[in-house]
Structure 1
C-alpha cells in the first residue's frame, strides 16, 4: 500500500492527480474520474476517515486551467469553470498568471470566498499563445518573476485563510525548462520551496518538446533528489505499469495523469486499486463504456444549466477517445460525433451492441505532435532576470480567457 502524500494541510490518500486539460477536465469529467478512483478504493477494500485539514481519498481532481485576470474580472465562463464536482471533498483549481498582484488577488478570491481547498500554479503550459507572453513554461526562466509570483500566491492564501480551519495549500506545476540548453526545474524547485509552495508536479518535457517524444523521467529523479517537497511525476503515464515504473525509477511520491485518461476515466479505478494493493482492473465492455458516455452527457447537461445542445457538442471530442480500440465502424463513429441530443446519443450507442474490452484500447493516447520552436518575448533568454522593458510589459501579458 502506498503511503499518503502530505501537501500542507492536504492529505492525498492515493498519490494521484488528474492533470488539468483545457476543454477536458471540467466538472462532469472530473466527477467521472473521481467516482472511478473511489470504486478502485472499494475494490481494494480500502476505507478512509476524515483527517485534519482536507483529505482526498482517491486522488486530486484539478479544474482545467483558469487565468487569474479572468477570475479577478469574474468572467462569466470562468466562474462557471470553477464550479466544483459536488461530491469532491477537495476543490482543486489551477491558476495561470504572469503578474504577481493579479495572481494574489485571484488566490484571495478563491480562498476568502471559500471556492477552493487547493490551488495549483501553472508553469507548465507550452502553448505559444501563453509562452510568447512570458507565461506558462517560459516564466520560470525569469527567476525574479517566478519568486515574486509564488511568494505573492502563498502570502495571499495565508492571509485569506485566517477565517478557515486550515491554510489552503499552494502547489506548482513546472516543465524541465524552455529547451535542453535552458533548463529551469531545479532553480524553480528551490525558489518554490523557499516561497512556501508545498508540492511540485514535473512534466518531464521541455517547452520545445511540447508533447512529442518521450518524457525524461530521469529529470523527475533529479528533482526528487534535490528537493524536500513531495514531487508528482507527469508525462507518459498511460497505464498502471507506467505509474509503478515512474515511481520505482525516480522516487517520486505519486503521478499526475493527463492524456492517459482521455476517454478512459476508469484508469483512476485501476490506479487507486493498485496503490492500495489490489490487482483489480476495470476493463469495461463496450456496453459499460456506452453507459459511461451517457452518464457523461447527463452530467454535462446539468453543468451547462440544461443546455443540451452545448453539452453534447462539448462531449463530441471525447467520443473517439471513449471508443478507441473497439470494433466500431467509421459511419457509426461519424454519427456519434454529430449527435446533438441525449435521446439521439442513446439511440446511436444502442446500435453498437456489445464487445469485451480490447487490448487495443490500452497504451499511449492523445496527440503527441512534434517538437516546436518555443515562442518567447523578445530577448527573453538573454538574462535570468526581467529587464525594465519586460517588467513594464508583464501586466499586458495577462489574458482574460481561461482554459489554456
Structure 2
C-alpha cells in the first residue's frame, strides 16, 4: 500500500504550501499581536481577511469526505493537508477546517434535518459562523460518557436543558452561534440509550459562560475552552438530532474523524518543532562547539525523525482503513493513533524546547504554546487510558 499523495492531493498540497508561505507564516506575529491588543476575546479580523483568499485558492472545506460542499477528499487524501495546516495552530480556521466546527459540520450533514442544514450548516460551510460541542462535565469522569448528568427534559413542544459543562472549545469565539449539546433524556433507559444530542443556539436565555479554562496557563483566546452553566435553557423539540437516545450513536460517528484530524495536526506541529530544533542547534555554540555536534542533541533529532515518521505512517494507515472498511471496523487503528500522535508530539516539542534553552519556554517562540496544546490533546476526544483499555481488550479478544 502506497501512502504517497495522489495527483489531486499533491496539487492541493502545493497550493496550500504556497498559501502558507504567502499569507500564514508572515502573519503569525500579527495574529498574536491582534489577540493581545484590547479585548482578547474579540473577533480576529486577520482571519476574516484571509478567508476570501483561501476560497479563491480553492482551499476551502477540505475536510468533508465525499461531500458536494467541500473538496470531496477521503480521509487519506485529506491527511497531508491537515498536517500542513497543523503547523500553525490558528490557521485551520482560515480554510474553514478548524475543530470543533469540522466535527459539527459533519454531524449536521449526516444527522441534521433540512431545516437544521439551512439554518446552521449553510452559514458554517460559508465560514460565516463558528460552533461548539458541549459534552464534558466537571462533576463526573467524562472519559466515561455514560456518567454525564446534564438533563434534557421534554416540555410540550420544547426541551428544557439544565447542567454544567466545561472545556467547551470554541465558545470564546465572538461568532460562535451554535452548540451541539449532549445530555440525558431518559436516565432509566439502557446505559447507551440514555443520552441525546440537541442543537442549542448560543443566544438562548439561561446560558452563562462562567470562565475560560487555561491549559498550563494558556487561555487559547479568542477560541477558548469555557466552563458554562445551563439553567432552564429552552429550545424547540425540533432541535433534537435523530431522536431521543441516539446521542452515543452520533458521538461515535463524530469522534472518529475528529480524532484522526487531531493526530494529523499533531504531526504538523511536531514537524515544525523539529525544524526549529535543527535550525537552533546549528546556530548556537556551547562548550566550544555547535549544539548540533553534541551527542545528546544528535540522538534527539534522530529519534524525533523516527517518531514523527512512525506516527505519520500509523495515521495514514488509519485513514486508509477508515476509508475502506469504515470507522467502526477501524476503531483499533483510530485508538492507536490517538495515543501515539499526541505523545509523540509532546516528546518532540519538549526536546525542541530544551534545545532552545530558556528561550524555548518563553513567549518568544511558539514551542511552549504548542506543548500545552499537544498535552491537552492527550485528553481531547478520550484520554490515553481509555484508548489503551479499548486496544488491550480488542487484542485479548483475538485469543478467545
Counting helix residues as a fraction of each chain, which structure ranks higher?
2
Q: Same fold (TM over 0.5)?
A: no
Q: TM-score if structure 1 supplies the norm length?
A: 0.27
Q: TM-score if structure 2 supplies the norm length?
A: 0.27
